[in-house]
Amino acid sequence: MVVAQGNSWRSQAEATLAQRIETWFQREARDLPWRRRRSAYGTLVSEAMLQQTQVARVCPAWKAFLRNFPSVTALATASEARVLEAWQGLGYYRRARNLQAAAKVIVVKYRGKIPSDRASLEELPGIGPYCAGAISSIAYGQREAIVDGNVARVMMRIHGRNVDGDSRSGKTWLWNRARDYVKESCDPGMANEGLMELGATVCTPLSPKCDKCPVRMMCATRAVGKQDQIPRPRRRATRSILHAHAILVSVNGRWALVRRGESGLWAGLFFPPTIESPIAISRATLGKRLGVDAKAFSVCGTFTFVATHRTVRFRVWSVDDATAKFLKTAHKGSWSWHAKGSVKKLSITSAMQRVFACGITPFVKSTPTITSGKSRGKRVPSMQS
Ligand code: SF4
């Protein structure tokens, strides 16, 4: 954005920018369920879901989630299993756990009312500067800025400046621009949402629709035709490959599951015992790792799961009865045992469904054809101020 020197001119330019985006948003906003009837709780849930997941997938999930847990208290008091089940299909289950943890804090500390100020919001589990700004401005009309991937791109293009959104100076510049912008807006929530909407639908990473843009006359990037250079295209990170050997162990009709660690893929979820390795491992190595004869293993299926940063090559094994009994004793206390019905209930990720579909027949009506935890979201992770 090219403005004359001086604070008043800058403020005037920011005010015009905000006004145009707010007017455009009132006219062009997509009809999304959480926009129909605003509530702080609805905004909190939608913001949690929209991080890393595309809007089309979030819409039905958001409606179902609010039917299941219509209030902060209902969410705080529900079992974790129910919350995770309601999160099915969205992936990144840690968000669901954080959301419930935040609901518990809100019930205890704020008597069930979601706080409106940024500082209190940022203290809640899973809520960073972006999410706090979004809830505070969209649900409560507070003059708080937000910076997510969409906002960053629009700001860089309007100002015709390439900054590194991962660097401290880049973050500072982006947050300052977002603050200047919201400071001059008429309706901070609408201005912020409009900015994000503009990034998601018009000022897209590739081929922005500048002819439909409400601020095209103020855009420094459009003026010099550098839309394909601002922001600088990121080099794609190489996707690593992980080999996962999932072992289906059954004793007396009950199946072994292990709760995964608190970080990484499927964090904290139940999964069949799985040995992971950056390279493919042989049946003999598998036997050695588990302390059993390699001949006890039979392959019952293979498939590939594409996650955001890596590709997981699954090989699913079954073991004979004697080995299963041995493993049950050897892993007493660390493996838990579940009947088929409860395994199905715990199989909330498509990867786990596919693992069991290899060994329990019929496990799912139809094996999912695409298994991916890959982000297709238009909303991209926020940048910390
Ligand atoms: S004119 Fe084009 S590049 Fe500039 S903000 Fe609008 S859509 Fe983005």
Mutate to test the pocket of ligand 1, among 2, 202, 206, 211 (most ligand atoms within 8 A of CB): 202
Torsion of CA 258, 262, 264, 268, to 10 degrees: 40
Cβ atoms of 307 and 239 within 8 Å: the answer is no
Q: How many Cα atoms occupy the beta-carbon half-sphere of 316 within 13 Å?
A: 20
> From the alpha carbon of 198, which atom of ligand 1 is closest?
7
Placement of tokens 């100020």 in the chain? 117
pLDDT at position 239, please?
Answer: 82
Mutate to test the pocket of ligand 1, among 216, 224, 228 (most ligand atoms within 8 A of CB): 216
pLDDT at position 266, please?
Answer: 87
Domain ranges of the chain: 7-224, 240-359
**Tokens encoding 4:** 């004359």
Rg (CA), the chain: 24
Cβ atoms of 221 and 155 within 8 Å: the answer is no
CA of 110 to the centre of ligand 1 (A): 41
pLDDT at position 30, please?
Answer: 97
pLDDT at position 379, please?
Answer: 43
Mutate to test the pocket of ligand 1, among 201, 209, 210 (most ligand atoms within 8 A of CB): 210
* CATH 3.90.79.10 given to domain 240-359: yes
> From the alpha carbon of 227, which atom of ligand 1 is closest?
3
CA of 47 to the centre of ligand 1 (A): 25
CA of 227 to the centre of ligand 1 (A): 8
pLDDT at position 309, please?
Answer: 80
**pLDDT tens across the length of the chain (385 residues):** 655 455 676 788 999 999 999 999 999 999 999 999 999 999 999 999 998 889 999 999 999 999 999 999 999 999 998 999 899 888 888 899 999 999 999 999 999 999 999 999 999 999 999 999 999 999 999 999 999 999 999 999 999 999 999 999 999 999 999 999 999 999 999 999 999 999 999 999 999 999 999 999 999 999 999 999 999 988 777 789 999 999 999 999 999 999 988 888 888 888 999 999 999 899 999 999 999 998 999 999 999 998 878 899 999 999 999 999 999 999 998 999 999 888 888 877 889 889 988 877 655 544 433 333 333 333 433 333 3
SS3 breakdown of the chain: % helix, strand, coil, rounded to 5? 50, 15, 40
CA of 218 to the centre of ligand 1 (A): 9
Closest residue CA from atom 8 of ligand 1:
203
> From the alpha carbon of 216, which atom of ligand 1 is closest?
1
b (16+ CB within 10 A) / e for 143-167: bbbbbbbbbbbbbbbbbbbebebee
pLDDT at position 343, please?
Answer: 85
CA of 44 to the centre of ligand 1 (A): 29
Pocket-forming residues, ligand 1, beta carbon under 6 Å: 154, 157-158, 202-203, 208, 210, 213, 215-216, 219, 221-222, 227
Cβ atoms of 46 and 379 within 8 Å: the answer is no
pLDDT at position 2, please?
Answer: 52
CATH entry, 7-224, from 1.10.340.30, 3.40.720.10, 1.20.1440.130, 1.20.120.530: 1.10.340.30
Quick check: do 7-224 and 240-359 share a fold? no
Beta strand 240-248 pairing with 274-277: antiparallel
Q: Is 47 a catalytic residue?
A: yes
pLDDT at position 375, please?
Answer: 34
C-alpha 344/C-alpha 328 separation (Å) is 20
Closest residue CA from atom 2 of ligand 1:
210
Please give the model's pTM, rounded to 2 decimal places.
0.80
